Amino acid sequence: MLSRTVLSGENIILGSFIDEDIKKIIEWHADEKIMRNLDALPVKPKKETEIKKWLDECPQDTFRFSLRLKEGNELIGYAELNGILWPHRTGWVTIAIADETKWGKGYGKEAMQCLIRYAFRELNLYRLQLTVFSYNTRAKTLYESLGFRREGCYREFLERDGKRHDMYLYGLLRKEWKE
């Protein structure tokens, strides 16, 4: 019998979502601190139907995983590979630790290591890329510690609280990846 667990690290599991997760995901979308790091769109609470649609209508080029702690199976975020261009073996990476009490504990790094390994070994991708807002210092530090290189800058990309902020493009090539 195959396990529902797709990927795992020492403390986390990347797996499938369950119906009980919807309520927690709705809470995340109402949390300004979380959403301002994740999305350039204005913070807007989501309805249950919107979250269900996001979970149910996952495009073919998207691999979306729940991010749970092994101990207690608690949902703390999600990780995703999307926008995959199969002929070129490139894809986009997204990760969110949506439970603020779990920030700074290494769960994001562990999840990213699993996702990168999955992308390069299982999906045979060659290049991964992501964007991050200039004010998200924790995320930039994480990505750089994993070998991602800053490749570009979308200058003054968004405005938050009356200030303009850049959005950076980061990339990681398979040949640069160190397991």
Give pLDDT, residue 6.
53
Q: 22-30, long-range: CB within 8 Å, 24+ apart, which pairs?
A: 22/48, 22/51, 22/52, 22/55, 24/75, 24/98, 25/51, 25/55, 25/98, 26/51, 28/96, 28/98
Q: Are 38 and 52 in contact (CB under 8 A)?
A: no
How many angstroms separate the CA atoms of 139 and 131, rounded? Answer: 10
Give pLDDT, residue 61.
86
CA torsion 97-13-178-125 (nearest 10°) is -90
- Phi-psi map region of 83: left, alpha, beta (phi>0 left; psi -120 to 50 alpha): left
pLDDT tens-digit series, residues 115-143: 999 999 999 999 999 999 999 999 999 99
Round the average pLDDT of the chain to a whole number and report it.
92
In a 13 Å sphere around the CA of 50, the CA atoms on its Cβ side amount to: 8
pLDDT tens-digit series, residues 59-105: 888 999 999 999 999 999 999 999 999 999 999 999 999 988 999 99
Find tokens 């995320």 and name the residue.
139
Check: pTM over 0.75? Answer yes or no.
yes
Does residue 3 surpass a pLDDT of 50?
Answer: no
Find tokens 């350039």 and name the residue.
40
Does residue 8 surpass a pLDDT of 70?
Answer: yes
Give exposure, 112-143, as e/b (b: 16+ Cβ within 10 Å): bbbbbebbbeeeebebbbbbbbbebeebbebb
